[in-house]
Amino acid sequence: MIKPGDTVALALSGGKDSTALTSVLSCLLPAWENVHLIAITIDEGIAGYRDETVRAADELTAALGIEHHTVSFQDLFGNNLDTFLVGREREACTVCGILRKKALAVAAEQYDATKIATGHNLDDEAQSVLMNTFRGDLPRLVRDAAQENACFIPRIKPLSFTPEKEIAIYLMVNNAWKVLPECPYTRFALRAEVRRMLTKLEYRHPGTMLHLIETKKKIERYCASVHVSEPIRRCRECGDPCSTDLCQVCRIRHSLDR
Ligand code: SF4
Ligand code: ZN
Amino acid found at 216: K
Amino acid found at 97: G
**235 Cα to the center of ligand 2, angstroms:** 5
> What are phi and psi for residue 115, nearest 5 degrees?
-140, 145
pTM metric for this prediction:
0.90
**137 Cα to the center of ligand 2, angstroms:** 21
12/26 Cα distance (integer angstroms) = 13
81/179 Cα distance (integer angstroms) = 23
β-strands 233-234, 241-242: how paired?
antiparallel
Q: Is 191 exposed, middle or buried (0-12, 13-18, 19+ CB in 10 A)?
A: middle
Q: What is the DSSP letter of 245?
A: S
- The closest-lying atom of ligand 1 relative to the alpha carbon of residue 81 is 7
Q: How far is CA 83 from CA 13, 95, 106, 107, 156, in A?
A: 20, 12, 22, 22, 31
pLDDT at site 145:
45
Nearest ligand to the CA of 94 is 1
Protein residues near ligand 2, an ion, with CB under 5 A: 235, 237-238, 240, 247, 250
**253 Cα to the center of ligand 2, angstroms:** 9
For residues 66 and 213, the answer to whether their CB atoms sit within 8 Å is: no
Q: Ligand 1 pocket check: which of 43, 186, 193 to mutate, most ligand atoms within 8 Å of Cβ?
A: 186
For ligand 1, whether the C-beta of 42 sits within 6 Å is: no
| Residues whose CB falls within 8 Å of the CB of residue 238, separated by 6 or more in sequence, listed in order | 247, 249, 250
pLDDT at site 169:
97
The sign of the dihedral angle between the CA atoms of 224, 228, 234, 239 is negative
Nearest ligand to the CA of 246 is 2
Nearest ligand to the CA of 183 is 1
pLDDT at site 229:
63
The dihedral over CA atoms of 248, 250, 256, 258, expressed in degrees to the nearest 10, equals: -120
Structural domains of the chain ordered from first start: 7-226 (3.40.50.620), 227-258 (no CATH)
Q: How far is CA 76 from the centre of its chain?
A: 18
pLDDT tens string, the chain, 258 residues long: the values are 999 999 999 999 999 999 999 999 999 988 888 999 999 999 999 999 999 999 999 999 999 999 999 999 999 999 999 999 999 999 999 999 999 999 999 999 999 999 999 999 999 999 999 999 998 888 888 875 444 556 689 999 999 999 999 999 999 999 988 888 999 999 999 999 999 999 999 999 999 999 999 999 998 888 877 766 667 788 999 999 888 889 999 999 888 776
| Residues whose CB falls within 8 Å of the CB of residue 3, separated by 6 or more in sequence, listed in order | 35
β-strands 115-117, 233-234: how paired?
unpaired
For residues 49 and 181, the answer to whether their CB atoms sit within 8 Å is: yes
For ligand 1, whether the C-beta of 186 sits within 6 Å is: yes
For residues 216 and 127, the answer to whether their CB atoms sit within 8 Å is: no
